[in-house]
Homo-oligomer: A and B are copies of this chain.
């Protein structure tokens, strides 16, 4: 079954394009300074960017001397803009569905994905493809919406019976589809527990090096007070894994 592609919906795309992280790129994403620390040096590496969107990371990788970058996205509209904004010939964009993606074995040094894997229905298949595509010693680095964020029925903070600001968590262990209203109605995401992300990666033979449950730093909150709720429930889950050398 194909991944849900809301990104070619003009109304969705208009709203999405207005996000700070789409106006300002990586520097508009509050989690980027941390996500960046998980990445290996790009110089001379063959990089794959799963769910590349407008190509912000693909361009960053090539600006940091990646040997080649393959940006993959399901949205033709997003790739049109990505291509228009990319001059480096070391970047190639392909319109492909991550749920049926094939990659050549041992063809990539680094596989990266920002906020795309929570749309993928068959994560087992994709992670097996990624693991096989990595060279020995190669790295996988990804971020997804944190499962505490994706789980509950309600997506709004509220006040508890005691008057505390709370995130109304439920159904954390009930994995599967979540239909959200985000710029438009009916955006379909896949909720998985933290353990499922970790174990799915481990099951492909990769070694998990680090996970991050991203929340705002004191500096982040000072610069953008609306981020403070991120201390109550992490916004993003990040994971770095390595293909063992033997």
| Residues of A near any B CB (own CB < 8 A) | 148, 152-154, 156, 158, 160-162, 164-174, 193-195, 198-199, 202, 207-213, 215, 230-234
Contact = CB atoms under 8 A, between A and B. Distances in A.
For the complex formed by this chain, how many copies does it contain in all? 2
B172 A233 contact: yes
Nearest to A230: B173
B231 A171 contact: yes
A174 B194 CA distance: 18
A193 B213 CA distance: 8
A76 B228 CA distance: 44
Contact of A170 (B154, B167, B195, B210): B167
Contacts of A169: 148, 166-169, 232-233
Contacts of A162: 153-154
A94 to B, nearest CB: 33
Closest 9 CB pairs of A and B: A173-B215, A166-B168, A160-B168, A170-B232, A169-B169, A195-B213, A167-B169, A173-B231, A195-B211
A26 to B, nearest CB: 22
A51 to B, nearest CB: 22
Contact of A174 (B166, B170, B207, B231): B231
Contacts of A211: 194-195, 198-199
A202 B202 CA distance: 14
A166 B233 CA distance: 14
27 contacts: A148-B148, A148-B169, A153-B164, A154-B160, A154-B164, A156-B161, A158-B160, A158-B161, A160-B168, A161-B168, A166-B169, A166-B170, A168-B168, A168-B169, A169-B232, A169-B233, A170-B233, A172-B215, A172-B231, A172-B233, A173-B230, A193-B234, A194-B194, A194-B213, A199-B210, A202-B209, A208-B208
